C-alpha cells in the first residue's frame, strides 16, 4: 500500500503525506507510521523522486477545518490504471488541493511504466526501513540467533507459523474438534468479523478446507514436514508468530522435535520486549528482521508477511534466497496416513 502511494504521488506529481494506518479490528494496533518505520529516512530516500511530508501543510489543512475526514476520499477500484489516476484523481486534486485514497491496498495496477515500478521497489527495499528501536533490538536478536546456532556454523532456519487464534478461527478448520475449541472459535470469529460467518447461505466445510490446503499448518505438522525433509534435532530454528492458539499444548511437540527452537520471547528479556507489547506490527517487525537474515525461510500460510519476506530476501541475496513453500494439498494426504512416522 505504501509503495503504491509513493508511485501514485509520482504519477500525479503530488506531495505525499505520510500514510495513516487504520486500526485493524483483529490486531488493534494503534502504531503510527513513525512508530514502525524510520520516517526521516523514508522522506530523504525519496526526496529526488517524490516530496513526502509528515503532516498536511497548515494552509491546506485549514481549508478542511483541520479535519482529515473532511477531505474527499476517492473510492478507487483495486488495480486502477495509470490513466484512471491522471484522468479522475488528478483533476480533483488540482481542484480541491488535497484528496484521500482509503483503503490503499492494491489500488494501482501492476502494468505501469518501468520507472514507476522501479520507484515501488525503491520505496519497498530502500526507503522503508524499521524505526531505530525496532532495528536495535532486531539486530541483537539476529546476533543471538547466530551465536545459538554454533552446531550449524551460525546458520539458522526461520518459520512463519500462522497458528494464532484469529487465523485458526478465520480458516474454519478443525483441530481438536471438542466443545471448547468450537466455542473459542465461534467467539473469535464474532469478535473479529461480526456475523460474517453466520450470514444466510454461508456453508462452512472444515474437511473440504483441509483437503484443499486452506488450513494453517499446526506446529506438529511443521515439525513433521521439516523432519521429513531431513532436518534433525540439531537444527537451529526461529519461529515467528503472534500469540499461538493453545500454545502450551500445540508448541510442546514442535519443541521436542527441535529443542534448539527460539522465538522472540526466548531470545529477548521481558524488559526488552516491554516497549513493543500491545503493538503487533512492531512485534512483527522484530520477527521479520530475524527471518530476513535466516539461511532458509519456511512459510506455512499465504499472507502478506511471507510474501513480502520472499521478495525482500530475493532482493538481498541476488535471487538465491532459500524459501520452503509447502504444497498443503499434497501434505494433507501424508499427515492423514495412519502409518506415518516422525
pLDDT tens digit sequence for 110-153: 999 999 999 999 999 999 999 999 999 999 999 999 999 999 99
pLDDT per residue as tens digits for the range 270-321: 999 999 999 999 999 999 999 999 999 999 988 889 999 999 999 999 989 9
Is 42 within 8 Å of 131 (Cβ atoms)? no
Side-chain-facing half-sphere of 182: CA atoms under 13 Å: 5
Residue 133 is predicted with a pLDDT of: 97
Grid coordinates belonging to 143: 546476533
Find the distance separating the first CA and the last CA of the chain, reported in whole Å.
42
pLDDT of residue 26: 63
**Spatial distance between the Cα atoms of 164 and 240, rounded to a whole number of angstroms:** 11
Q: Which residues contact 74 (CB under 8 A, 6 or more apart)?
A: 88, 89, 92, 99, 100, 101
What pTM, to 2 d.p., does this model score? 0.91
Sequence spans of domains, the chain: 2-126, 132-163+216-336
Alpha helices, DSSP H, located in 13-131: 33-36, 39-45, 58-63, 82-84, 90-96, 114-122
Residue 194: predicted pLDDT:
84
| Fold classified for 132-163+216-336 | Rossmann fold (3.40.50)
Reduce the DSSP state of residue 37 to 3 states and report it.
strand
What is the rounded distance in angstroms from the CA atom of residue 217 to the CA atom of residue 253? 13
53 Cβ neighbours under 8 A, 6+ residues apart: 15, 16, 17, 18, 43
Q: Is 188 helix (H, G, I), strand (E, B) or coil?
A: helix
pLDDT of residue 91: 97
Cα–Cα distance measured from residue 55 to residue 18, given in angstroms and rounded to the nearest whole number: 7
Taking the chain (342 residues) in consecutive chunks of 10 residues, what is each chunk's mean pLDDT? 95 94 76 96 97 94 92 94 96 96 91 94 95 98 97 96 92 89 90 85 88 93 94 96 93 97 97 94 96 96 90 91 92 84 64
* Confidence at residue 105, expressed as pLDDT on a 0 to 100 scale: 87
Which H or E run includes 324?
strand 322-324
Amino acid at each position: 500500500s505504501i509503495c503504491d502511494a509513493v508511485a501514485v504521488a509520482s504519477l500525479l506529481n503530488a506531495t505525499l503525506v505520510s500514510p495513516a494506518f487504520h486500526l485493524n479490528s483483529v490486531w488493534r494496533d494503534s502504531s503510527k507510521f513513525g512508530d514502525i518505520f524510520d520516517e526521516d529516512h523514508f522522506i530523504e530516500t525519496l526526496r529526488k523522486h517524490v516530496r513526502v511530508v509528515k503532516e498536511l501543510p497548515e494552509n491546506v489543512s485549514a481549508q478542511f477545518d483541520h479535519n482529515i475526514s473532511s477531505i474527499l476520499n476517492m473510492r478507487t477500484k483495486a488495480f486502477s490504471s495509470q490513466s484512471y489516476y491522471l484522468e479522475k484523481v488528478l483533476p480533483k486534486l488540482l481542484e480541491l488541493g488535497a484528496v484521500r485514497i482509503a483503503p490503499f491496498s492494491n489500488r494501482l495496477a501492476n502494468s505501469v511504466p518501468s520507472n514507476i515500478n522501479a520507484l515501488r521497489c525503491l520505496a519497498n527495499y530502500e526507503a522503508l526501513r524499521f524505526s531505530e528501536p525496532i532495528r536495535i533490538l532486531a539486530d541483537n536478536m539476529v546476533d543471538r540467533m547466530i551465536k545459538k546456532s554454533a552446531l550449524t556454523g551460525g546458520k539458522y532456519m526461520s518459520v512463519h507459523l500462522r497458528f494464532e487464534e484469529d487465523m485458526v478461527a478465520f480458516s474454519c478448520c478443525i483441530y481438536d474438534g471438542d466443545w471448547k475449541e468450537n466455542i473459542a472459535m465461534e467467539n473469535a470469529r464474532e469478535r473479529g468479523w461480526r456475523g460474517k460467518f453466520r450470514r444466510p447461505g454461508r456453508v462452512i466445510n472444515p474437511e473440504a478446507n483441509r483437503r484443499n490446503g486452506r488450513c494453517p499448518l499446526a506446529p506438529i505438522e511443521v515439525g513433521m514436514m521439516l523432519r521429513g525433509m531431513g532436518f534433525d534435532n540439531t537444527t537451529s530454528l526461529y519461529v515467528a508468530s503472534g500469540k499461538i492458539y493453545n500454545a502450551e499444548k500445540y508448541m510442546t511437540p514442535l519443541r521436542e522435535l527441535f529443542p534448539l527452537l527460539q522465538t522472540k520471547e526466548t531470545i529477548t528479556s521481558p524488559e526488552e520486549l516491554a516497549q513493543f507489547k500491545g503493538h503487533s506490527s512492531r512485534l512483527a517487525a522484530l520477527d521479520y528482521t530475524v527471518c530476513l537474515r535466516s539461511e532458509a525461510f519456511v512459510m506455512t500460510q499465504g499472507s502478506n508477511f511471507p510474501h513480502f519476506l520472499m521478495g525482500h530476501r530475493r532482493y538481498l541475496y541476488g535471487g538465491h534466497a532459500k524459501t520452503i513453500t509447502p504444497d498443503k494439498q499434497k501434505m494433507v494426504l501424508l499427515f492423514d496416513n495412519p502409518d506415518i512416522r516422525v
